[in-house]
Amino acid sequence: MALMTADQYRDSLRKLNLKVYAFGEILTNVVDHPLIQPSVNSVAKTYELAHHPVHRGLLTATSSLTGQIINRFTHLHQNPGDLVAKVKMLRLLGQKTASCFQRCVGLDAINAVDSVTFEMDQTLGTGYHQKFRRFLREVQDRDLTVDGAMTDPKGDRSLRPYQQVNPDLYVRIIKKTEEGIVVRGAKVHQTGALNSHELLVMPTTAMTEADRDYAVSFAIPSNTPGITYVYGRQSSDTRKLEGGTMDVGNACYGGHECLVILEDVSVPWERVFMCGEYQFAGTLVERFAGYHRQSYGGCKVGVGDVLIGAAAQMAEYNGTGKASHIKDKLIEMIHLNETMYACGIACSCLGVGTPSGTYLVDLMLANVCKQNVTRFPYEIARLAEDIAGGLMVTLPSERDYQHPDIGPLLAKYLQGVATVPTEHRLRMLRLVENLTLGSAAVGYRTESMHGAGSPQAQRVMIARQADLEQKKRQARVIAGIEVEDGVLPQAAGQSNYHAVN
């Protein structure tokens, strides 16, 4: 079975029986819980569109490992075209869900681990790459969702992993046995962890020899004994528990984050892809970050498309759609959104092959892409809020609107353009609120800041990739200070031309 259906995916999650806490209670039915169900629906869309007659060409690929048709979310990029297709796919899914659809983290992780394990084996004589590819073939054959788990709690950021007072603030190896390793620690901000079949764990930073026990990468089923999940709160998330649809804003789709706690979890050697090779931890982090920063040029743009559409629709509902300043604001939102997309496409087009055959994005442009994403969605959200109007944050509840006595009065006094039903106006307001302030903002505005690394993380990479010395040399050559290929640029005053007075 290379391609699961959406229903098969949901059924597969029900069999996992994860240990999940939310609001101080253990959840017994994660898949159908109102807090989690919208995020399950978002991931299910990645399975649904793989069978869609219009979209399956974008959502599927031919496996470089087996030659079979697989979901693109399990594919190793084989050329720049694959990288471009990924960005287009993510934009499409953002448009279809207006939320985080969670599966791109695993896609970015498998591509990073694939190339790094190959180079680790070539340099150090280890045997990780073939083990990883056996794992990946299973993922492709069964069409599994993988949670890429990189971010550790980190504790005191001024200290190295091995220097922490609490040694478990970074995932570490606490024991090696004949069967495998035993690990302890936690991963934070784990997007879609409750909706995943596998966890692919990676180190979160470059390591030194003293950090050797923290230089670890492995894959384990998400229901492995010793794993505990704690649901992360989102703004306005309890609206999902109220039974309505209007106040949620986006009632069908959503995303979630988890704290994933690993309490002495056993990992068989066959699933271990790094075990103390600290020299390659930084490379793995850098490549995963590059892929994931590319991702934001697709997914956030797709959600931005929906937000721009909602703002434009609100302008029409309010009767301001023809105002010149409203048109100008919409143009600015589109410009910012397409600029992010352009960076995502550009870093894909300039991708290069790694020794394993897997293609890597242009790291400079991927980091420029994400640096833009840390800024532009905030301005897009601000303009959307401006266009929508203040009623977005003072709107009475859905229960009031449905009330037999007060409801008709709300329908009367909250009307905009007379030809538009009041309920349509209120639903659109709630969608804008959801995307800019509510639970979806976690996967749009706030995640745009910190997802795939904070803004400073991209600036560090931009500085590293910029090659300022080469730029200074180019300036010296043009200024006539330094020769290039043994020839100084000819100055105008040195030509045979003489001005006629």
Catalytic choice (48, 198, 257, 398): 257
The one catalytic residue among 74, 104, 229, 401: 104
Of residues 258, 299, 343, 347, which has the active-site annotation? 299
- Cβ 11 vs Cβ 143: under 8 Å: no
Residue 299 annotated among the catalytic residues of the structure? yes
Q: Is 385 a catalytic residue?
A: no
Catalytic entry in 292, 317, 401, 436: 292
257 assigned to active site? yes
Q: Which among 29, 445, 441, 26 is positioned nearest to 231, based on CA atoms?
A: 26
Count CB-CB contacts under 10 A for residue 223: 14
For the question of residue 52 being annotated catalytic, the response is no
Catalytic one of 191, 205, 358, 374 = 191
Spatial contact of 261 and 226, defined as CB atoms under 8 Å apart: no
| Given the residues 296, 359, 401, 444, the one annotated as active site | 296
* Catalytic residue check, 119: no
CA distance 117 to 149: 17
- Reduce the DSSP state of residue 84 to 3 states and report it: helix
Considering only CA atoms, which of 94, 99, 217, 108 is closest in space to residue 152? 217
End-to-end CA distance of the chain: give it in Å, rounded: 85
Tell which residue, 228, 152, 240, 143, has the closest CA to residue 193. 228
Neighbours of 371 (CB within 10 A): 19
- Tally: H helices and E strands in the chain: 17, 14
Given the residues 100, 258, 347, 369, select the one marked as catalytic: 100
Tracing tokens 């594919």 back to the chain, one arrives at: 75
Catalytic site residue from 385, 398, 433, 447: 447
Q: What is the enclosing helix (H) or strand (E) of 395?
A: none
Q: For residues 203 and 150, give the distance between their C-alpha atoms in angstroms, rounded to a whole number.
A: 6
Active site includes 447? yes
Residues that are catalytic:
100, 104, 191, 257, 292, 296, 299, 447
